Chains A and B, each alone.
Chain A
Amino acid sequence: MKSRLNVIDNSGAVVAECIKVLKNAKWAEVGDEIVVAVKKARPISEAMSSSMSAAKIRKGDVRRAVIVRTKKEIRRPDGRYVRFDDNACVLLNNQQQPLGSRILGLVSAELRFKNWVKVVSLAPRVV
């Protein structure tokens, strides 16, 4: 079974399943790009869909995402380890920019070192 991640932006997706790791490795860490299939999405009302210009994410969409939190501990260069209670990601568009306009939740500071500047600036809290 593939890893499921919570989607913590306001793109409409709620749960995504990782279907590909976009680096030459067996697993991805915080700050790595992955390909996800959306497994659960928020229902899109008809009124909203006609007015909104942003992309509508439906269940079954295949998108790219960046991992922002992992349950597996991440080692920092000074010997510290950080572990979150869940796995979370933020959906991206083809230009590697976040799809949603807001990020709802905390993200790991590893994203700063891997140059996800936009994601870090949108996040309400970075640990």
Chain B
Amino acid sequence: MFCKQLLSRALTRPIFRSFSQAHVIVPQPQFDKPLVLPVKKRPNVMKVIERESISRANVDGRSDLFIRRAAPRDRLCAGDIVTVETKNSMAEGAATSSFTGVCIAIYRRGIDTSFILRNLVQKVGVEMRFLAYSPLVKRIDIVHKGVGFRRAKLFYLRENPGKTFQLKLLRKAGK
């Protein structure tokens, strides 16, 4: 029939005839294969993407530091003394700089998880906020677990530091 011929022609021909194939950019998949996730009836797409991107960024097990339900001795808590080593650039063999400080805040936002470290460097308070899963962050080490901090956000340390920054680890890092 004439309709059938028209339909078959429409299906076999390319849709945009005025464009040449070279101008069409077909997006390539970013990763060759997806991660194997537990089978769930209706997975939330954004949660799946978040979990996959965290697994890919989690090269040295640092995501264990940010699991909310882990025991306080295994996870990063407000009040811990942390050293972060960052690469200065994405180039191969770039120099690293490190920063040590008391963790005063943790923002758990999936792949955008970040934390703020505070220390007194040359008697001036310096706070640095690091993105946990940044490729520039080489290592996150908990040097000393905090004792006696009962808050999730320790912004009061800006005005009332007490003896928090008198620890040898912090003073050495602050020179």
Contacts and interface: CB of A to CB of B under 8 A. Distances in A.
B1 to A, nearest CB: 61
B72 interface: no
B129 A125 contact: no
A82 B136 contact: no
Give the dominant DSSP class at B's interface: strand
Given A78-B136, A80-B130, A83-B127, A125 B86 contact: no
Interface string A94-126: 000000000001100000000000000000110
Contacts of B128: 80-83, 127
The prevalent SS among residues of A at the interface is loop
Contacts of B37: none
Nearest to A6: B124
Interface residues of B, number: 18
Contacts of A127: 99, 121, 126, 128
Interface residues of A, number: 16
Interface of B: 86, 99, 114, 116, 121-131, 134, 136, 158
Given A81-B116, A83-B128, A125-B121, 17 more contacts: A69-B124, A73-B127, A73-B129, A78-B86, A78-B134, A80-B86, A81-B128, A81-B129, A82-B127, A82-B128, A82-B129, A83-B126, A83-B127, A85-B158, A86-B124, A105-B124, A106-B124
